Structure 1
């Protein structure tokens, strides 16, 4: 028996595995000796934290020691909390989806999920991170869903699929401090005893580099593009050529741009750096504020270039300070030892020596104009009201500016500009004297004929720009809601929809507006959505702005159908058409997370809870028809497939014994690709005195009318041991 063929084969396999491991180690050593480097799953990155540009608080995770560290900047940075944590089941840096590794790098909290989570897995609350960040995408990393959360029944070392988990009490303590934008350093090791380290000058240099980039942007200068690594930026963020063209077009249209950075921070990641700041942007047509993040890497010449960028709109009170004239730019420490203080660059940075001379002459001619244009001056609000426009890019192709490519100058029209440029002599239209002629042979007196100059017909002034009054906003909002209802209405024919809401002759053809979807693409998009046997729509808050005669709506949308969830932003450009009704002249759909999945989960959870209560009551009463009606036709229940077999099994069982108690508690819902997953504790008892308790897991699907159970799994608790 011990020397059987099977035994000999097993022994040979063990020896082969051991030999293979030794061969791999020798191969790796040889490759290192030859200078060959293979892509490693883990760089064992040791995270440094320097004493320059640190945020007011940050999280650091030591994966090796399984420690969660929370720091506060109290001159200097100090450690406030240390908690045990658990990270990915597989050690090393995350590379691909489902590799069960926790990534290493610099990340930021996006938002909080406070409902609909499986308690055992997540502890009921989670804070999402922006993995993959632009550098991760540049390096070809994949995956998603890296969170900071807890565990319902305790944490164990390396027990997640890539997230960071801490204890229930610990997340209650630190959770309120994990506000959106909080920096999170995920590393193989963090030495809290050596925090902060002395900056060697790189961190300070990059803070100045971000300010110089902002100055070039505000100056509408071509020098701004020198800050980018074009090929890397195209791979990590968006097509650099298209980005550059849009910027150059805006530079020509806008009469001024002004940017103020408040609190420029900097952290070093594995092979890259991140700078970020609270940023206020104002131009001749809008003002907006948010958090700007730049990702830097060295190019072949050793110069730091921008390879990635993220923008998060957020209300931080900067607009209010702007309106009060109190918004001041941050003064950075000088880079050299010359003792010179920080200078405030003018917004109209000249492009050449000739431009510089002309700019100096113009500035000298206008009293006080130069001081008004300094980037660090308190901003004076315009008479025209401004509003913040949203721009969402949680991990999806961010653009540099808060302006959309179609936004144009509103404060000064072309006619007004021309009128200001005219001199008094040019305004006078002189009559040109014509030569006098005498009609020979006629008895008429000689007359002098004066022929006036032929003048071009006066160009009618353009209609006044739209003003986003409450009445107009209500009209536009009603129009968008009606369009969305018609767009998702299966009874609405395409031609009726287009006649009612689209300007077919000008759609996607208006000069100055972006090329979005064509009418044919709009039809195909609608047909694709309506292929689902049912469709539910969850709109977010409408965000309106005006651009001359165009009203622009940014509408976050979530579509839920049989195929799953589809989330993004629909941009709609409206102009008045025949009959004075607003009609669509352009439309564009941009996929991306908008936070509406949580809204859907809350609504769906309430509906599913009501169905599960009917299911529980029907089970407890042995109401066979009502019980089976809660299942899909192809439902799976502990090996039985199909509602017909479920009915037969329960009918046979309930003829012998009937339920007396079905109790459900601790119900938790989470989103699943097919619908909802419900986890709960279940207690059951029957008429013969048998009882049990355990965990019931249900997969729920929506059929267009109600939720139904598609799969049912049961795990009984083991009986308690007798003392």
Structure 2
């Protein structure tokens, strides 16, 4: 009997080397004011999925069984059947076209390999958090993290794009060591110093980077990065670099800070989510070894741009940030190669976008005009009309921009009547989930006098009323759970999130409302801008179901003309 038991143990160790015995990274969950508000943690040793929120102290929101790679230890190369260890971020949400047996019907890709993984020479692709077509068993994936399908469905409303995911051999939830708490403060301070040095066009900006590692992670010589920046420094009289709500997460031998970055020069504005990867050099100083950047609409323009001034969006000039985008790839468990499926554009959420209301820590240059006061802003028109008609550019602004690019007419987001929503809220950070519309070419803050905008496109009075009526009736149909009335607002090939076509949208709503009937739907800070053959609509959506569930986020719609009426052809939502 003893010999048989010993033989079984030897066979088990041979088949599953190091399982439960290997060291691996013990991931410390740093309870710091600079930490993320919500994040995922995966304990590979106990095969446990955690969802945390920080409300001083950290609190476990969900604790669920999960399964990771067949072999233990950190992932080093493609196909090694291991789950990576480190800090990653959810890049998108997939709920269609999945292999049911492998992934169930829902998956959340991660940004493996991250810049530090690239520096370390790790390879692989398509690491996802996903469901399963059958009940999970421990250590059964090819590198992904899998949950039982009912569990991941229940998590769907809680997992956010751009949410941090900490994966370790073990998760340490004890009191945060003073060293880690101090390091969190150091990398946040270093992030603000990095932005200040960039804004000051200082040599210190380049010194903050580890040239050798940065070149590896970014895939280009550091000299190319430096030459591009120095060229802009010489050409531009000033630049503004504002960072808002910097958050820090500890990795195995690195830290990640992530934040909303707003960039402005005399000829350009750019806004997006920036992630900086930090390691200490031999002298013990923090240095940037890698970064990732995802462009998004410049929702903070009103905070940093003079009223009436026109500045081109990032896509219009050569001044665009040349930084590493994050793309989804097919899963590590997919039998196809990485080149067999197209990469999906990164779709950031608002997980990291808890915008600060005070940007005093990032002062504007002397030449930068102040943000308009409330008294200077254009008041909204009375219901049910659209307000703030699209503005034509000032000639002085066009002269200022002549050397940078040739601007084309564009339109200002206009506020709908107050009757459609509640009181206004600060601008939200939208997800950049791809839609059928092109990005705006320029930003105009506050409309100009009527005499100067005669040639700009304007909605006719009946169109104003029609759009206002459509939105209110759409909202009421949703609030009352009237599926037929709700669906009447969509085109046959409408897109709603990852759903394509009327049938998919209807099936989703029928299933969702049967389980959680809606109680109330509110629209706040509604804005409309013209686009080809229709209108682009954005508003803050506040939703509550009858079981008490509630959420708040940014809703984006594209409306096009279909005969005598408008229909919704594209609709996207991101949590705030």
Tell me the TM-score normalised to structure 2 length: 0.53
| Partner residue in 1 for 2:203 | 222
- Aligned with 1:107 (options 88, 108, 125): 88
1:234 Cα offset (Å): 0.6
* Structure 1 CA distance for aligned equivalents of residues 436 and 221 of structure 2: 28
Secondary structure class of the residue paired with 1:47: strand
- Aligned with 1:247 (options 223, 229, 249): 229
| Partner residue in 1 for 2:61 | 80
Whether contact under 8 Å (2:410, 2:440) holds in the other structure is: no
| Partner residue in 1 for 2:110 | 129
Secondary structure class of the residue paired with 1:113: coil
1:203 Cα offset (Å): 0.9
Q: State yes or no: 1:309 paired with 2:291.
A: yes
| Partner residue in 1 for 2:185 | 204
Residue correspondence of structure 1 range 608-619 to structure 2 within 5 A = none
1:666-700 deviation per Cα after TM superposition (whole angstroms, max 9, x unaligned): xxxxxxxxxxxxxxxxxxxxxxxxxxxxxxxxxxx
Whether contact under 8 Å (2:248, 2:255) holds in the other structure is: yes
* Structure 2 CA distance for aligned equivalents of residues 101 and 214 of structure 1: 37
Alignment RMSD (CA, Å): 4.0
* Structure 1 CA distance for aligned equivalents of residues 138 and 357 of structure 2: 45
* Structure 1 CA distance for aligned equivalents of residues 207 and 126 of structure 2: 34
Q: State yes or no: 1:275 paired with 2:215.
A: no
1:274-327 deviation per Cα after TM superposition (whole angstroms, max 9, x unaligned): 1111122222112222111000111122211111000012348433555699x8
Report the CA distance shift for 1:600/1:181 in structure 2 as closer, same or farther (over 3 A).
closer
Residue correspondence of structure 1 range 321-720 to structure 2 within 5 A = 321-322=303-304, 344=361, 346=363, 369=366, 378=371, 466-469=406-409, 542-543=438-439, 545=441
| Partner residue in 1 for 2:282 | 300
| Partner residue in 2 for 1:159 | 140
Secondary structure class of the residue paired with 1:155: coil
1:273 Cα offset (Å): 0.9
| Partner residue in 1 for 2:491 | none
* Structure 2 CA distance for aligned equivalents of residues 168 and 196 of structure 1: 36
Whether contact under 8 Å (1:207, 1:275) holds in the other structure is: yes
Whether contact under 8 Å (2:257, 2:275) holds in the other structure is: yes
Structure 2 portions without partners, runs of 5+:
1-6, 308-354, 377-395, 412-433, 444-495, 505-576
Q: State yes or no: 1:284 paired with 2:266.
A: yes
Whether contact under 8 Å (2:243, 2:362) holds in the other structure is: no
Report the CA distance shift for 1:78/1:323 in structure 2 as closer, same or farther (over 3 A).
farther
Whether contact under 8 Å (2:270, 2:298) holds in the other structure is: no
* Structure 1 CA distance for aligned equivalents of residues 59 and 497 of structure 2: 38
Whether contact under 8 Å (2:78, 2:125) holds in the other structure is: yes
**Structure number with bigger Rg:** 1
Whether contact under 8 Å (2:211, 2:222) holds in the other structure is: yes
1:260 Cα offset (Å): 1.7
1:152 Cα offset (Å): 1.4
| Partner residue in 1 for 2:483 | none
* Structure 2 CA distance for aligned equivalents of residues 42 and 258 of structure 1: 48
1:162-191 deviation per Cα after TM superposition (whole angstroms, max 9, x unaligned): 001112221122222222110000000013
| Partner residue in 2 for 1:92 | 73
Report the CA distance shift for 1:239/1:540 in structure 2 as closer, same or farther (over 3 A).
farther
1:201 Cα offset (Å): 1.2
* Structure 1 CA distance for aligned equivalents of residues 98 and 85 of structure 2: 25
Secondary structure class of the residue paired with 2:39: strand
| Partner residue in 1 for 2:340 | none
- Tell which has more relative contact order, 1 or 2 (C-alpha 8 A, sep 6+): 2
Q: State yes or no: 1:179 paired with 2:119.
A: no
Whether contact under 8 Å (1:87, 1:157) holds in the other structure is: yes
* Structure 1 CA distance for aligned equivalents of residues 242 and 176 of structure 2: 30
1:202 Cα offset (Å): 1.1
Q: State yes or no: 1:48 paired with 2:4.
A: no
* Structure 1 CA distance for aligned equivalents of residues 188 and 121 of structure 2: 27
Whether contact under 8 Å (1:266, 1:274) holds in the other structure is: yes
Report the CA distance shift for 1:464/1:282 in structure 2 as closer, same or farther (over 3 A).
closer
| Partner residue in 1 for 2:323 | none
Report the CA distance shift for 1:539/1:149 in structure 2 as closer, same or farther (over 3 A).
closer
Secondary structure class of the residue paired with 1:246: helix
Whether contact under 8 Å (1:60, 1:70) holds in the other structure is: yes
* Structure 2 CA distance for aligned equivalents of residues 143 and 119 of structure 1: 22
* Structure 2 CA distance for aligned equivalents of residues 379 and 254 of structure 1: 24
Report the CA distance shift for 1:320/1:463 in structure 2 as closer, same or farther (over 3 A).
closer
Whether contact under 8 Å (1:58, 1:71) holds in the other structure is: yes
1:501-529 deviation per Cα after TM superposition (whole angstroms, max 9, x unaligned): xxxxxxxxxxxxxxxxxxxxxxxxxxxxx
Tell me the TM-score normalised to structure 1 length: 0.43
Whether contact under 8 Å (1:116, 1:602) holds in the other structure is: no
1:197 Cα offset (Å): 7.2
* Structure 2 CA distance for aligned equivalents of residues 315 and 179 of structure 1: 19
| Partner residue in 2 for 1:433 | none
Q: Which protein is richer in helix relative to its size?
A: 1
Report the CA distance shift for 1:246/1:146 in structure 2 as closer, same or farther (over 3 A).
same
